[in-house]
C-alpha cells in the first residue's frame, strides 16, 4: 500500500532509510526564489510610473533651504508626498504577503495612515494645531465621502448593483459613529462652559468693580482656565478610551469575527516582488524621507495661505488629504470596478476608523507627552459637518447594496463641504 508523507511523518523511516521530505516553512525567507536586495529595490523604485514624481523630493528640500517662494515650496512638497505615500503602501503590502493575516493587519493599521501621522506630528511640533485638526478631519471626510463616493459611482456604472456583507459594514460604521460622538462631546462641553461664562459676566463685572475699589484686580481668567483644564482632561481621557476600543476592534476584525470581513470574490495569489528585509528597510527609509517632506510642507502653509489668499482650513481639509490618500483612492476605485465591494468598504470606512480612533487619539497623547496642548475640541461647524457625513454613510450602507446614485450623493456632499471651507 502506498504511503503518504505528512508533517507528522518521522524524519527517519523504520528501517533507517533516507529522511522523509518534510516542508520547512522557517526557511521561506531564505529560499532562492525570494528576490534579492538589488531586485527588490529595483522593482520598488522603478516598478510604477508614479515614482517619476520622486524628483520633487530633492526639489522640495532645495526650495526649503534656499527659501524660494512659498508657493514653490508648498507645491514641491505637496507633489513629493504623493509618490512617497504610494511607496509606503507598496512596502506595507509586500511585508503583508509574508507576515500572515494578524501581523499584516497590525502593520496596515500602523502604516496605513503613516502620511497623516507624519504630517500631523510635524504640524503639532510647529504649533499648527488647526492644521493638525483639519487635516485629520479632512482625511476622514475624504475617505467617507470622496473615495467611497467615487468607488460607488465607478462600480455602479459598470454593475447595476454592488453587494457587500451587511454585518461587517454596520459594525464598522457603528464604530465610526462612536468616534464621531466622542468628538461632539468636547464641542458640547466647550459651548456649555462658554454659556456659563457669559451668564456670569455681569456678576464678574460687578465683583471686578468692587475689588478695584480695594486696589485688587479680577479679570475672570480663572473661569476660562477651568474650562480649558476640563477640556484638556476630557480630551486625554477620551483619547485613551478610543485607543482601547480600536485595539478591541482589531481583535474583532482579525481574530474573533474575521469571517465577517472575508471577501466572497476569489482572491488572486500575489507573488512577492521584495524580500522581507528589503521591504522593511524600504518602509523605514520612505518613512524618514516623508517626515522631512511633511515638515517642509507644513512650514510653507502659513505663508502660502497668507500671500495667495487660500484659507488654511481648505488646505488642511481638502488639499492635504488628497495627497495622503492618493494611493487608497486608486485602490478603492479599482476594487469597486472588480465588484469587490467588501474590500472597498474596508478601505474607505476602515481607513476613516484608523484616523478617528487611532491617529487622532495618538496625536492627542503625543501632544500631552511633549507639552503641546492639542485637544479633541473641533469647531462647531466642523463637528456638524463630520456628524452629517457619518450619518449619510450609515444610511447608504445599511442595506448592504450600492449603486451609482449613492456615489453621486456622497460626492455632492463632499463638494458642498469643500465649497463651505473655501469661503470660511
364 has pLDDT over 90 = yes
Count structural domains, the chain. Answer: 1
Read off the pLDDT of each residue in 326-340 and give the average, rounded to a whole number.
79
pLDDT number for residue 106:
60
- pLDDT 10s digits, 397-421: 888 888 999 999 999 999 999 999 9
The average pLDDT across 212-236 equals 66
CATH code for the domain in which residue 345 is found: 1.20.1420.30
On the question of pLDDT at 140 being above 80, the answer is yes
Mean pLDDT of the 301-318 span:
87
Residue 28 — pLDDT band, cuts 50, 70, 90?
A: very low
Predicted confidence band of residue 255 (pLDDT cuts 50, 70, 90):
confident
**DSSP string of 91-145?**
HHHHHHHHHHHHHHHHHHHHHTTHHHHHHHHHHHHTT-HHHHHHHHHHHHHIIII
Task: Give the C-alpha distances (Å, rounded to integers) separating 376 from 180, 229, 233, 309, 397.
Answer: 11, 13, 10, 27, 27
pLDDT value, residue 149: 93
- Is residue 361 scored above 80 in pLDDT? yes
With respect to residue 123, please indicate whether it lies within any of the assigned structural domains.
Answer: yes
pLDDT higher than 50, residue 6: no
Residue 163: inside a domain, yes or no?
A: yes
Mean pLDDT of all residues in 282-298 = 88
The percentage of the chain sitting over the pLDDT mark of 90, rounded to a whole number, equals: 24
Q: Is the pLDDT of residue 307 over 80?
A: yes
Q: What is the tens place of the pLDDT at every residue in 114-139?
A: 888 888 898 899 888 888 988 899 98
More confident residue, 256 or 22: 256
Q: Does the residue 23 lie in any domain?
A: no
Return the number of other C-beta atoms located less than 10 Å from residue 214's C-beta: 6
Residue 179 inside a domain? The answer is: yes
Q: How many CB atoms lie within 10 A of CB 287?
A: 18
Cβ 296 vs Cβ 64: under 8 Å: yes
pLDDT score recorded for residue 7? 40
So what's the pLDDT on residue 414? 95
List, as one string, the DSSP characters of 351-383. Answer: HHHHIIIIIHHHHHHHHHHTT----S---HHHH
Mean pLDDT of 157-178: 86
- Residue 49: Cβ within 10 Å count: 8
- Residue 217 in any domain: the answer is yes
The answer to whether residue 19 scores a pLDDT higher than 80 is no
Length of the chain in terms of residues written: 424
User: Which of 71-85, 177-191, 253-267 bottoms out in mean pLDDT, i.e. has the lowest?
Assistant: 253-267
In a domain, 43, yes or no: no
pLDDT in tens, 338-357: 888 877 888 888 888 989 99
209 pLDDT above the threshold of 90:
no
Contact 370, 125 (CB under 8 A): yes
Which single residue is written with the C-alpha cell 510604477? 48
Q: For residue 37, is it within any domain?
A: no
pLDDT (tens digit per residue) in 38-93:
888 899 988 888 889 999 999 999 999 998 988 899 999 989 988 888 888 788 77
In the chain, count of helices (H) and strands (E)? 17, 2
Residue 15, pLDDT > 50, answer: no
The whole-number pLDDT of residue 66 equals 92
Instruction: Give domain status of residue 281, yes or no.
Output: yes
Is pLDDT above 60 for 17? no
Mean predicted lDDT score pLDDT of the chain: 80
Report whether pLDDT(203) > 60.
no
Most confident of 77-91, 255-269, 294-308, 405-419: 405-419
Per-residue pLDDT at 330 = 77
Three-state DSSP state, 25: helix
Q: What's residue 128's pLDDT?
A: 87
How confident is the model at residue 269, as a pLDDT?
A: 65
Q: What is the pLDDT of residue 220?
A: 47
Q: Give percent above pLDDT 70 in the chain.
A: 79
Domain interval for residue 336 = 49-263+271-423
Question: What pLDDT sits at residue 357?
Answer: 92
Amino acid at each position: 500500500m502506498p504511503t503518504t508523507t505528512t508533517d507528522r511523518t518521522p524524519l527517519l523511516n523504520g528501517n533507517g532509510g533516507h529522511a522523509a521530505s518534510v516542508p520547512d516553512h522557517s526557511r521561506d525567507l531564505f529560499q532562492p526564489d525570494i528576490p534579492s536586495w538589488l531586485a527588490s529595490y529595483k522593482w520598488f523604485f522603478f516598478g510604477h510610473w508614479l515614482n517619476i514624481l520622486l524628483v520633487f523630493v530633492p526639489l522640495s528640500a532645495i526650495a526649503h533651504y534656499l527659501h524660494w517662494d512659498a508657493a514653490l515650496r508648498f507645491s514641491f512638497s505637496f507633489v513629493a508626498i504623493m509618490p512617497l505615500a504610494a511607496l509606503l503602501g507598496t512596502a506595507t503590502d509586500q511585508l503583508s504577503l509574508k507576515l500572515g493575516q494578524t501581523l499584516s493587519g497590525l502593520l496596515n493599521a500602523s502604516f496605513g495612515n503613516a502620511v497623516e501621522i507624519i504630517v500631523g506630528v510635524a504640524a503639532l511640533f510647529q504649533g499648527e494645531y488647526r492644521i493638525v485638526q483639519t487635516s485629520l478631519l479632512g482625511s476622514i471626510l475624504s475617505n467617507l465621502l470622496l473615495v467611497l463616493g467615487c468607488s460607488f459611482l465607478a462600480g455602479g456604472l459598470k454593475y447595476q448593483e454592488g453587494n457587500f456583507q451587511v454585518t461587517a459594514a454596520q459594525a464598522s460604521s457603528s464604530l465610526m459613529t462612536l468616534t464621531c460622538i466622542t468628538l461632539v462631546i468636547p464641542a458640547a462641553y466647550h459651548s456649555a462652559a462658554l454659556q456659563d461664562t457669559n451668564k456670569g459676566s455681569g456678576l464678574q463685572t460687578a465683583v471686578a468693580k468692587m475689588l478695584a475699589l480695594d486696589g485688587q484686580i479680577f479679570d475672570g481668567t480663572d473661569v476660562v482656565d477651568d474650562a480649558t483644564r476640563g477640556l484638556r482632561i476630557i480630551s486625554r481621557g477620551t483619547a485613551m478610551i478610543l485607543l482601547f476600543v480600536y485595539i478591541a476592534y482589531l481583535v474583532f476584525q482579525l481574530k474573533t469575527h474575521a469571517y465577517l470581513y472575508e471577501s466572497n470574490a476569489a482572491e488572486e495569489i500575489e507573488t512577492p516582488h521584495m524580500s522581507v528585509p528589503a521591504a522593511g528597510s524600504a518602509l523605514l527609509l520612505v518613512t524618514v524621507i516623508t517626515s522631512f517632506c511633511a515638515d517642509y510642507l507644513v512650514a510653507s502653509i502659513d505663508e502660502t495661505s497668507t500671500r495667495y489668499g487660500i484659507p488654511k482650513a481648505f488646505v488642511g481639509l481638502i488639499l492635504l488629504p488628497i495627497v495622503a490618500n492618493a494611493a487608497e483612492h486608486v485602490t478603492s476605485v479599482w476594487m469597486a470596478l472588480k465588484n469587490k465591494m467588501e474590500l472597498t468598504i474596508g478601505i474607505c470606512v476602515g481607513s476613516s476608523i484608523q484616523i478617528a480612533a487611532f491617529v487622532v487619539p495618538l496625536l492627542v497623547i503625543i501632544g500631552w507627552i511633549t507639552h503641546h496642548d492639542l485637544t479633541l475640541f473641533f469647531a462647531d461647524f466642523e463637528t456638524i459637518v463630520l456628524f452629517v457625513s457619518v450619518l449619510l454613510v450609515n444610511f447608504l450602507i445599511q442595506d448592504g447594496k450600492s449603486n451609482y446614485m449613492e456615489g453621486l450623493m456622497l460626492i455632492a456632499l463632499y463638494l458642498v463641504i469643500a465649497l463651505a471651507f473655501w469661503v470660511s
